[in-house]
Amino acid sequence: MARKVVFIGTGGTIASIGKGPLDLIDYGANNTIVHAEDIVTAIPSVREVADLVVVKFRDIPSTAISFPEWKQLAALCHRLVGEIPDLGGIVIGHGTASLEETAYFLNLTLKVGVPVVIVGSQRPLSGLASDAAMNLVAAVRAAASPASAGRGVLVVLNDEIQAAREVTKTSTFRLQTFRTPDFGVLGSVDGEHVRYYRRTERRNAPDTEFDIAPLDALPRVDISYSYAGADGAAIRAFTSVGAKGIVLAAFAPGMVTPGEQEAIKAAVEAGVTVVVSTRARSGVALDSAKLRPMGVLSADNLNPQKARLLLALALTVTREPDEIRRIFATY
């Protein structure tokens, strides 16, 4: 018997309709995003690989998704698991712009035991040679596979299975845009075969310490991007508007300009928690002898956008530097 899988639609490219099959780039200008049920109607083969339950959530571009939607998505996943005792897995359709952030946030906050897979596409549902159909089929197969259990939130596109913590979007238009720098894929979906070759070592859903249920919002955490000649104005601005944390997208391996360094010192003295990541696509951020005495912490190998999420969640449970350092070493 086919395993039961829920498909939750949130919009994005996988749900977008352009002006025609050759409208592959600026299709968002058509302002047409269809419901999850419409996606499945357009891809009927997906019902052949699982007993599919379709759930509408939102029909929006992923650039409009942040904490309120993440909290609602998490609550929806928890409710569905409670209501469908024999549920085998959950697939969430999502725009690729912020897909990695939603995946990592859910990886840090979901408390469900079934596999959760995030899927998107690089070409709209209406596009010539769209990847939407095969991506959705592969994601449903991954979610339905017992082998996917216990691996945290997964991301499936282009027949590849990636870990939510590690994957990032690396190309604007190419189908192979989602990559895991340094470590590579967890596995692959080849036809009906779901195969795994490694696990991520970091702690993930459902075994995490973060509880978002009582939260109305996350602490404000901003990202300051380093560039030649940066004078620290962004850091001072974020501090002035009440940022509780700032992530530095620093020069690799973890360096900043003299102007930024002065602004960082003032921010830490004002009570802001500062974490250094880098603008490079891989590698561990340097625990610098220049920044460490100021109280700046390393993001390990998290990219800036994911370091921002982990820092925001960390600040909901502690302000102690040693505890935040532990959290970054754990997740």
Whether omega before 206 lies within 30 degrees of 0, making that bond cis, reads: yes
Strand partners, 132: none
Kind and range of the H or E run holding 14: none
> Can you tell me the distance from the alpha carbon of 89 to that of 77, in angstroms, rounded to the nearest whole number?
10
Q: Shortest CA distance to 81 belongs to which of 218, 205, 216, 217?
A: 205
5 neighbors 52 (Cβ within 8 angstroms): yes
Of 10, 13, 168, 239, which is the active-site residue?
A: 13
Helix (H/G/I), strand (E/B), else coil: 63: helix
Q: How far is Cα 181 from Cα 284, in angstroms, rounded to an integer?
A: 11
Q: Which of 27, 8, 114, 130 is nearest to 65 (CA)?
A: 8
Tokens 């690989």 sit at which residue? 49
Nearest to 264 by CA among 306, 292, 302, 287: 292
CA distance 235 to 225: 9
Residue 13 designated active-site:
yes
* Nearest C-alpha neighbor of 103 from the set 200, 94, 330, 85: 94
Sign of the four-CA dihedral 235, 301, 119, 160: positive
Of 77, 40, 31, give the one whose Cα is nearest residue 57: 77
180: its two tokens: 């895991």
Q: State the DSSP H helix or E strand holding residue 57, giving kind and residue range, or none if neither.
A: strand 51-60
**Would you name the residues annotated as active-site residues?**
13
